[in-house]
Every structure is written in structure tokens, then in C-alpha cells.
Amino acid sequence: MSTQIKYAYKRHNTWVYRRTYPVHLQEILGSSLKRSLHTAEAKVAAKRVTELNTTFAAIVQEAEVKLAEGVKSGELAQIAVAVPRYQRARLLGEQQLQEVAAVYLAEASDRLRPGSYKSVRFALELLTSHAGSHKLSALGDTLGKEVLGYIARLSPNIRKYGPAQGASLAELAMLSEDYEDLSLTAQTQRRIWRQQQQFLDWCVSAGHLETNPWEGLVVKDRPGVRPHKVLRDAQVSLLLNAKDRVLHSALLFCLLTGMRSGEACGLLADDISTKGNLGRFVQIRPNAVRLLKSKAAERELPLHPILEQVLDSTLPKGGRLFPNLTVDRVVKRYAYLRRQHPDLHGTVFHSTRKWFITQCERTGVPEHFTASLVGHQSARSENKLTYGLYSAGISDTQKRAIIDQVRLPQDVVL
């Protein structure tokens, strides 16, 4: 005897739900609510019918309210009830990598900052360009080693070349060897591989995979950090005496406070306050223009007397202090200055922050004092307990004394 379920029937080995709306509501709602239950199992179908019956009752109830409010027959009415949709069960790992990656990136775009999301998207684009059509269950060691090998052959600048646009990971690796005798540093390779691993770990947590198939694979080369150079005094003089129309004031701010470029770009006139005989202070905090790198980056520090003069004579009295600056523009403008002045080779805008920290060290400022000023997580004791949890930090007077010790090179003409 065949199984029977009220409001459902079996067609082509799949249960289908169908329930007719009351006659007086049919001109608003249509004749019936009909949905495929996407299952051949009677017990599963019966459970889904119960869910749809609840939805059906809610739709009818709201339609009655709409009718009472004067919605005429034939007029469109918004019924705010979500109808469940069901999908067929799929074997674990049967989905294609590119399908799951699209879902992961959509989720990542909501939780990550734009810069971080761009980095993750690049790593996933490399992966899907090579293995996007593979099922998740097919991601074995052999394919993982292949992806790792191609990443190791990539050039840092390969995406800037025309033929590289739209190229796959394998094609990018070959183009890299044709165009440049240069490959990604081990540190960059590890970052890309880590982001791809994080995606696979997410697949496990989301139920698409049982385990991460590439968990045991690592970048073999040891990461070697290649920090950008600290600005020498002669280079600071060169930068400031150039009086660049775009960067001059921002350069002064970052050289004399140790701010990051993003922190300077987001400064508002409201962030400046006066504290009696201690002079003016600037508060670095999240705002509508930019967020901060970490919790430690939120801080208050005194302005150097030179910066107080710049505030009075050059910068706006309201709104953003640098309304035309973004981090992108700062980076590109500094690159322009570097081309104009070959003596700046090897430095970046962030080198201004390194110069400030160097001046603090050379004037005998304790490291944890400097950490408070530049927004680093302070390692003020070996176990990070006594000062890290119990201290309120250095005083405004101490901060003022440190800032006032910083001196620009003597040959700078302001």
C-alpha cells in the first residue's frame, strides 16, 4: 500500500506539497501554495509538510489582514512571510570548489575590512582559477602540492601585465618566469597559502568537508621579513624641503607623531583638544572616515610645537584635516617622490613612523613609553601582567616631554 500524506503527492519519485488557498483570497494569493519537497523519503516529506502548513496558515492570516485593510482583489499585496525552500541532499564533498568559494567570499566581505577582503579574494581567485571545477572531495595532496608549487613561482608584479588579466594560476606562474626573474617572498607565499587553508577550514566547519585535505602541506621556504628602510636625516630633509603640495603636511604629522598613514588621513579637527599649559593633543580613534588597526592603536598624544603652527596656518578649522588624502593616494604620491628623488630608494611612507621611533630610542625613551605613543601593544613586563593589566599608562606630562625631544634635521626649511 502506498504511503499517503495530506497536502502532498509523489511525482517522479519526489514529494510535492500543494494546498489550495481559500476562494476569497485566491485573487490576491493565487490558487495554491505549491513547493517541491526535494525528497523521496516519506518521513522527511511529512516533516516538511508540517513546516509548510505553518507557513500556509501565516500567509492566510496576513492576507486576511490585508483584505481587511482594503486591498482590492487583483491588487499586488506584500505578504511578509518567508516560504521555506528545500534542496536535495548532496554527498559530502560533492560541491564544486568555485561554488563554495563564492559563498565564503560573500560572508568574508561582510566581516572583513576592504583591504583584508581584497587579500583574501586574491588568494581564493588563484585557487579557483586552477581548481575551481574540482569537487571538494577531489582536493588531495597531489593537487595541493601543485597549487603550492605554482604559488612559489609567481612574481610580485605579474598582475600588472596585460596578458595576465584573467589568466589562471598555472598561466600566471609561466608568465612570471617569462616577464621577471623574481618570485614572491616566502612570507607572502605563506600568507596566500594560509588564506586558502582558512577557506578549507571553513569548509569543514560549514559541513562541506570532513577534514582539511591540505592541512599537512606547508611552504618549505623559511619566511624572511624584508622591512623597508628607516629614513635617514638626510632623506627627511629631502622630503620636507621638497614641500610636496600633496604630502608635505601629512609628512610632518607622521614624522613628529609616529602616526600610520591611515590614522593621519582620518584625522578630524574635532580630534584636536587643548590641555592647559601642556598644549594641544590629538586623539586617534575610530571614526566614519577610517577604523584603526587594533585596540592598542586608539590613543591620545601631544602635538609637536611645529604641528601646532601647521594647524594654525595651513590646515582646515573644521571637518577632515586632510580632506583630499586617502591611503591609496599617499602610497602613490610617495612612489612619485621616490621616482623624482632616487636617494629615497628603499623607503616608503611608513618609513616616517620608523624615523619617529628611532628618534625616541636615541633620546633614551623606554620602549613601553614609545609603544604607548605609536599605538603598539606594549610589552611592558615579561608576563604582560603588571603594567599591561594594572597600569593606566604614562601621563600627559611624560608624553609631552617625549614629543618635545624630537627634533627635525637642522637643514630642514619650514
Q: Give the model confidence (pLDDT) of 200-257 as tens digits.
A: 999 988 888 888 999 888 888 765 555 678 899 999 999 999 999 999 999 999 999 9
Whether residue 114 sits in one domain with residue 69: no
pLDDT of residue 1: 47
Decide if 160 is inside a domain: yes
Q: What is the CATH number of the domain that holds 351?
A: 1.10.443.10
Look at residue 28 in the predicted model and tell me its pLDDT: 78
- Verify that 70 and 118 share a domain, yes or no: no
State the Cα–Cα distance between residues 35 and 132, nearest whole angstrom: 32
- Per-residue pLDDT, averaged over 46-64, amounts to 90
335 confidence band (pLDDT: 50, 70, 90): very high
Structural domain for 332, as ranges:
233-405
The three grid cell numbers given for residue 87, joined into one nine-digit string: 534542496
Considering 42, 70, 89, which residue would you say is the last residue of a domain? 89
Average pLDDT over residues 7-33: 88
Instruction: Give domain status of residue 122, yes or no.
Output: yes
β-sheet bridge partners, residue 9 = 16
Residues 130 and 11 in one domain: no
Q: How confident is the model at residue 8 (pLDDT cuts 50, 70, 90)?
A: very high
Could you give the percent of the chain with pLDDT greater than 90? 50
Give the pLDDT score at 348.
Answer: 92
Q: What is the pLDDT of residue 68?
A: 78
One domain for residues 83 and 152? no
Query: Is 413 part of any domain?
Result: no
Same domain, 253 and 400: yes
Q: Residue 131: inside a domain, yes or no?
A: yes
30 touches 21 (CB < 8 A): yes
Buried b or exposed e, range 310-336, using 16+ CB within 10 angstroms: bbeeebeeeebbbeebebebbeebbee
Domain closes at, from 56, 71, 89: 89
Do residues 274 and 198 share a domain?
no
- Which 3 state secondary structure label does DSSP give 135? strand
pLDDT of residue 149: 92
Q: Is residue 212 part of a domain?
A: no
In terms of domains, do 237 and 321 share one? yes
- 21 contacts 29 by C-beta, under 8 angstroms: yes
CA-based end-to-end distance of the chain: 96
Mean pLDDT of 57-80: 71
Question: Residue 336: pLDDT above 70?
Answer: yes
| pLDDT above 60 (res 183) | yes
Give the pLDDT score at 408: 93
Scored b (16 or more CB within 10 A) or e, 391-410 reads: eebbebebbbbbbeebebee
Residue 214 maps to a domain:
no
Last residue of a domain, one of 31, 66, 89: 89
Say whether both 33 and 132 belong to one domain. no
pLDDT at 72 over 80: no
Q: How much is the pLDDT for 322? A: 94
Q: Tell me: do 330 and 397 sit in the same domain.
A: yes
52, 17 contact by CB (below 8 A): yes
Which one has a higher pLDDT value, 301 or 72?
Answer: 301
Q: Do 160 and 303 belong together in one domain?
A: no
Same domain, 85 and 126: no
Question: Cβ(254)–Cβ(236) under 8 Å?
Answer: no
Q: Is residue 69 part of a domain?
A: yes
The closest of 219, 255, 247 to 358, measured between CA atoms, is 255
7, three cell numbers? 497536502
The pLDDT value recorded for residue 372 is 87
**Model pLDDT, residue 30:** 84
Give the model's pLDDT for residue 194: 94
- pLDDT over 70 at 153, yes or no: yes
The verdict on 21 and 79 lying in the same domain is yes
Task: Give the pLDDT of residue 394.
Answer: 86
The total domain count for the chain is 3
**327 within domain boundaries:** yes
Rounded mean pLDDT, 371-385:
68
pLDDT of the residue at 74? 47
